[in-house]
Structure 1
Amino acid sequence: MERKDAEKRAAELTELLDKYTYQYYVLDNPEVSDYEFDMLMQELKGIEAEYPELIKPTSPTQRVGGIASGKFEKVTHAVQMASLQDVFSFGDVEAFIERCRREIGSPEFSVEPKIDGLSVSLEYTDGVLTRGSTRGDGFTGEDVTANIRTIRSIPLKIEDAPEFLEVRGEVYMPRSSFFELVEQQELMDEQPFKNPRNAAAGSLRQKDPKITAGRKLDMFIFNVQQCQGREFTTHSGSLDYLKSLGFKTIPSYKVCHTYEEIKAEIERIGVERVNFSYDIDGVVIKVNDLAQRTAMGATAKTPKWAVAYKYPPEEKETTLTDIEVNVGRTGAITPVAVFEPILLAGTSVSRAVLHNQDFIDEKDIRIGDRIVVRKAGEIIPEVLRSVGHADGSVKFTLPSVCPVCGTPSVREEGESVLRCPNVECPAQLLKNMIHFASKNAMNIDGLGPANMKALVDSGLVSSPADLYSLKKEQLLFLDRFADKSADNLIASIENSKNAGMERLVHALGIRNIGQRAAVLLCEKFPDMTDLMKAEADDISEIEGFGDVMAESVCKAFREPHMTELISRLRDAGVKMTYDKQSAEDDRFSGRTFVLTGTLPTMKRDDAKKLIESYGGKVTGSVSKKTDYVVAGEEAGSKLTKAQELGIEILSEADLLEMTK
């Protein structure tokens, strides 16, 4: 294709793809099938690959763009992104309305759902998205433009736009995307997000935009922050204008005049919210006239012309009929409350996790009890308390053996979780297989959680060793594989044979042995045969190893299933010796870290792996021997103790800076 024709066709494809994206993600009314959309996208990618100079920042192909960033630049908001005053009763709402009437006469109000997400600003210059930033403290946020571009409902460019436009909205994760993400995190043995809001916040602040793109975020716009070249008289009028530009505006905003109308609208939204595909945590009531807002002004923290009504958490009483015991993919033996069905937040609920024995003992929960249940964050059912025991009830104790395979259960020192130690337990098979093939272990490309699940469910594999006898013809019987993808997977499995002994040791999933510990083991015992024969006393001599880690290694290599697995892997040609790499960066060698609280972008396991990769040691408690405490949100007693002992406190950003 000649360049002139390519440029013309690229423009046509861009217009079509923008139109279809708007229909699908904003109007929820697609005109073409997913396949037709994908074919058009592939055609545009092909043109841009041939003529890279035609690639524009607003091209549909650039939705996942940008480079992984080590940090987010600070953004000072020209217009404060203020928070709202919360109210919790209709009496408070009525008092707010009366106060408005006293100050500005007869106001009208815009009433709209309060989306439970992350507040974000979008800036457009001459109709092109130039920056997206988080709210932060209202005055200073973070530049997350590369990640914002991945959200399909956000227009990268707008037609007939003012010279400069800044809008504010809420980035959220739809419930369906949240449940899908949690399922994936559990498969990967990661700590799942607690609710969609936390998931949205964590996803938007990923260092790699490709990860954000995979989280399927969405955004509602609810305010004009700045607009050069156009003026508005009412808030509802500004929302109508934004909607005409192609923005996905806050749904169901309604103009009301009286307390009775506002109360009815709050009640209507409260009833209907169970049918929403997203979470809300209340209703916002705002003075609609913008001049009247200016007249009312604001306090240092909140505007006087708006409040957020928060729905009270719904709690209901029911009868606990049973406590089931499930075995997770990590071997964790988890009690689950089974109770008479109740309606909470619009759905029937009959089960809730009871976490562990300590939780049951603390609340003295027994089968037959009357219990109080609620939905945490409107999503996850939880048992709050027992309000009465049945006659003849007895305390509940978790079983001493695994309910799936019968292996004696164990509770290790410092843990609250009871576990099945048998890694061949059927309940743990999928998790162990996923770990074995993961990037930090044998690094088998193309064998993520979904494909591994397909292999396990089909019966093709029941052990990591089975992977090395897979044939292309077997894969083609599964829906997930075509000719090319089957070839690629077989080749990747073959390549993994040379991953190295240190990766293999990590892939075996030995308790308490992470990536760094696996390397240290291989440095001490560079041949698998020698490692398998090593005694605990010899292993504990390794710097950073204690008795618990040494015993874990010895116990693992004495188990018959482990010796059989290694024998099969050896026969398959998997490398069983260690080649010491070039000098490693051990800048944290001899330093002890403690992690506490929720870090902004990193999971604790990731932070631990990072520290260990530089030779550091991570422990679970603070003492005089601790060098650093890395603290995130909701850091508790560990942070307090560190402050008392004068130990240096690090943020996630500080830790990342130390690794540069």
Structure 2
Amino acid sequence: MDTSVIKVEDLSHDQARAELARLAPVLAQADAAYYRHDAPEMSDADYDALKRRNAAIEARFPDLKRADSPSDTVGAAPSDGFAKVTHAVRMLSLGNAFTDEDVAEFDTRIRKYLGLADDAPLAYTAEPKIDGLSLSLRYENGQLVQAATRGDGETGENVTANARTIADIPATLIDAPDILEVRGEVYMAHDDFAALNARQSEAGQKTFANPRNAAAGSLRQLDATITATRPLRFFAYAWGETSAPLAQTQSDAIDRLQALGFQTNPLTQLCDGPQAMLEHYRGIEAQRATLGYDIDGVVYKVNDLALQARLGFRSTTPRWATAHKFPAELAWTRLEKIEIQVGRTGALSPVARLHPVTVGGVVVSNATLHNEDYIAGRDSKGNTIRDGKDIREGDWVQVYRAGDVIPKVADTDLAKRPDDAQPYQFPTTCPECGSDAIREEGDAVRRCTGGLICPAQAVEKLKHFVSRGAFDIEGLGAKQVEMFYHDPVLPIREPADIFTLRARDAANLARLKNRDGWGEKSAEKLFAAIDERRNIALNRVIFGLGIRHVGESASQLLAQNYHSWPAFEAAMTAAAVGEGAEWEQLLSIDGVGAVMATELVTVFHQDAERASIDRLVAQLNIQDVAARADIDSPVAGKTVVFTGTLEKMTRAEAKARAEALGAKVAGSVSAKTDLLIAGPGAGSKAKKAADLGIETIDEDAWLALIGDA
């Protein structure tokens, strides 16, 4: 069954687990494309919808939250082209609001968290959300000493030389705190963008799709002299580490940044509640087309900085702020052809090739068609969508996008359908290898059964194997993988072939150093990079295998539980899907569900896959991975449950504090519970804890226990 079309409230427990497993890799790939490569593959609207769906499922089924949950990620890992910078204060993303009701709910959540009455005064700032690249500027004793991109929130790229070329960024501050990290957005104005593209075109160089891509690409140039020729600008709107407070309120702090010499957005306004916030949102939306720069929404922040501190943060977003996004955009164009792409898991993905059309200022020529049901005008249950209209080659289709994206096809105009247009026949054989392409019950996707004999799957698996989170072999990227895969003399058809390349090269007359584009130094450099990766951590090996549903976070989780390759390999070999002690042990790992476990065990019991893994492991020295280091606090690693009424803090504050100290907060008492904190009115949970012999304390004892930890 296609879980993607089932409403969250209608999902069963198993369906929810399957849907979270589907969403995690899709959103991880979208993050990498947007943040790391400045080449988005998914619309903002589609991305936001998937993130909302993921969060809603996790809220309904908290026990199913995955170790690689998209809710716990910010941006993507920084590029290797720049030195790394660890942010003193994390650079987080924002939660999103899409409707008036979402904004009202944002206000309600904050009041509830703080224990404020509905009519208590609570002010917010509202400012345009600039569509650019986040940047953090560190000043020490008034001098700009470092500039860094957001990266993954923890670690960014050092772009100091590039930032110094931007006129809006002062090199020196007067009367500033000794340490001050100013944060904001690098962007490009529409007129400057048009002029830049004209110059690029005249010089025969690549033009940019939109201002955000142009700004991101310009700031991340390895040569700062190129950045200096690009018309970049900067709006300041936040701060990180400071040696002294800027002000007591958000609005006053922004005024302080402006007084220090930074450009701040003139449309920033103080609002006294949701109604005023929405009025300002609509006013900004009405001006959007004439602002001269791209924005994709309005950001609301609690104005009182003391209240911001009380509200604190979730894992990746502040509780005291949200981004109210603008609606997506639409256009109509001709669908010229439907093509099928085959991914590393064998999934057959239909792609619409469009007559190029401008949507919201960006020219697009490709769109996703999701799956064969979507093309046919139905969902996985056979219910009609788009009033039952199918999608055919030659159709006049409505294209949906928001932001700098590859869009999706939303609708088709039957009145403009060509007389000779035929219903699209989704292939039942793989277009790459001719193997049967089957669709299993409950799966929305048809998959090639060719496995390792399918060149598309093999190539994509190899690309994944050498990717940054896996073996990350310098000099062996996607382009080189494709070259070696098709090489008749020195082929690389599976991961183990990479590590035999040097020996095969030495034994062959047509050596790599004699090929076009290669020389003795470049060949030796590649061989050395491959040899360097023979010693590799267990988590990278697990991730590099490219097992469906097993992402980077899940690989790290598995490595920390099994510690060594022999232990992991033995457990997967001994496990049988759905039964036995090894299966139960695998499922007992917090973050591993039945879907992921089934894929893991199945791979190790398929003869061809297992033989390929064994050949790879024979070439490696796999390093053990230690268990996750505990946070130094009295409750680190313990499972705690709160029950009854808490009188000195809200339940949300207590939960956030416990998690920050390394505890796991559960909603119910079980044999795994270490500590119950019971306030007045505690009922069945306290009784169950007593029956199980679980330590129970009151709120005062809890506060004394954690102290200043």
Q: Same fold (TM over 0.5)?
A: no
Larger Rg: 1
